[in-house]
A = this chain, B = another copy of it.
Amino acid sequence: MEVKVVNFEEKFSKLEELHSYRIIAQMNDYYFKIVKAKREFIWHTHPETDEVFVVINGELKIDLRDKTMHLKSGDMVVIPQGVEHKPSCPDECHILLIEPTETVNTGDKESELTDTDLEWI
- Taken together, the copies of this chain in the complex come to 2
Task: Confirm or deny: A121 has a beta carbon within 8 angstroms of a beta carbon on chain B.
Answer: no
Q: Which residue of B lies closest to A1 (CB)?
A: B80
* Contact between B7 and A28, CB atoms less than 8 A apart: no
* Contact between B28 and A50, CB atoms less than 8 A apart: yes
Contact for A9 among B1, B7, B74, B81, CB less than 8 A: B74
| A69 contacts across to B, CB distance below 8 A | 3, 5
* Cα–Cα distance between A28 and B75 once the two chains are bound (Å): 19
Given A28-B49, A50-B28; A3-B75 close (CB under 8 Å): no
* Cα–Cα distance between A49 and B30 once the two chains are bound (Å): 12
Closest 10 A-B residue pairs measured CB to CB? A27-B50, A28-B50, A27-B52, A6-B76, A5-B77, A7-B75, A27-B78, A5-B75, A8-B74, A25-B78
**Chain A residues within 8 Å of B, Cβ to Cβ:** 1, 3-9, 25-28, 30, 32, 49-52, 64, 67, 69-71, 74-81, 83, 98, 100
